[in-house]
Structure 1
Amino acid sequence: MTVVTVRRVTGRTAWALLAAFCLAFLVFEVVKYGGASPVSSVLFVLLPYATRFGGPAVVHDLAHRPWIPLAVLVGYSVSSLNWVPVFTAGLAWMTYVAVARVLGHGPRSARG
């Protein structure tokens, strides 16, 4: 195996572990809180995917960056906001990004 192949396998393995963790945590939160959490979860799994079907590449690239859902998760965790659908939206978005990276999908543009 070449170094590039090892890096690719290692990277995809790390993304797969993150995806599994986020999915398990997402299911736990949705079952625990219910209400609007399932709605926000489904919405934020489908929303980044919908950017593939139109619009500029920069919107698609932003939707497939892990930093934005991570900022949502950290921001919710350190704030006094107490509305769980925001947190589950961030988890769903991070799960989508991680699964997309495992499957080899990512930013569309050359600079992304």
Structure 2
Amino acid sequence: MSTVTAPGKASGVRNVRRAAWFAGALFWAAFAVLEGVNHGWPAAILALTFFVVPDLAFLAGWREARTVEPGQLPPRAVPYYNSLHRALVPFALMVVYTVTPLNWAPIFAALCGWMAHISFDRALGYGLRTKDGFQRHP
């Protein structure tokens, strides 16, 4: 029995996965906006900040940026990029926030913004990086 899939089937699975990530991205973005509307400027500012912060990992490799190939992330920035782009991290923090007595809504809004960022990245085809800085392919 072969485990190799036909190219069309792999492409279909990839499209379904990306559509699911896009639906998640819309959900988390809407939730972040709702938290901002319901809880004021601190929640909105933190949601927007955490929507942008994961890509600041690129700054860790800005000195080497001219020495790498197009589409490659400098290897020095890869651990930072990958840790900020793992969906399990903000999701686990949401669970911790939910089950602890901590009750400051802007924290949850920030986590929603972070999840929205990761989900939009996955929907657009950007995933985690290899040690060399290239895109991993699922």
TM-score, normalised via structure 2 length: 0.75
Identify which of 40, 44, 47 aligns with 2:50: 44
Secondary structure (helix, strand or coil) at the match of 1:65 reads coil
Q: Aligned partners of 2:34 and 2:23: how far apart in 1?
A: 17
Where structure 2 has 5 or more consecutive residues not aligned to the other structure, the ranges are: 1-6, 62-76
Larger Rg: 2
Q: Classify 1:13/1:110 alpha carbon distance in 2 versus 1 (closer, same or farther; 3 Å).
A: farther
Q: How far did residue 35 of structure 1 move?
A: 3.5
Q: How far did residue 110 of structure 1 move?
A: 5.0
Q: Aligned partners of 2:26 and 2:130: how far apart in 1?
A: 27
Q: Aligned partners of 1:86 and 1:109: how far apart in 2?
A: 30
Deviations 1:61-87 (A, max 9, x none): 011110001011111111110111110
**Aligned counterparts, 1:67-106, within 5 A:** 67-106=88-127
4+ residue runs over 2 A deviation: 52-56
Equivalent residue, structure 2, for 1:54: 60
Secondary structure (helix, strand or coil) at the match of 1:15 reads helix
TM-score, normalised via structure 1 length: 0.91
Percent of residue pairs bearing the same amino acid type: 31
Where structure 1 has 5 or more consecutive residues not aligned to the other structure, the ranges are: none
Secondary structure (helix, strand or coil) at the match of 1:54 reads helix
CA contact (8 A) 1:58 1:109 kept: no
Q: How far did residue 53 of structure 1 move?
A: 3.2
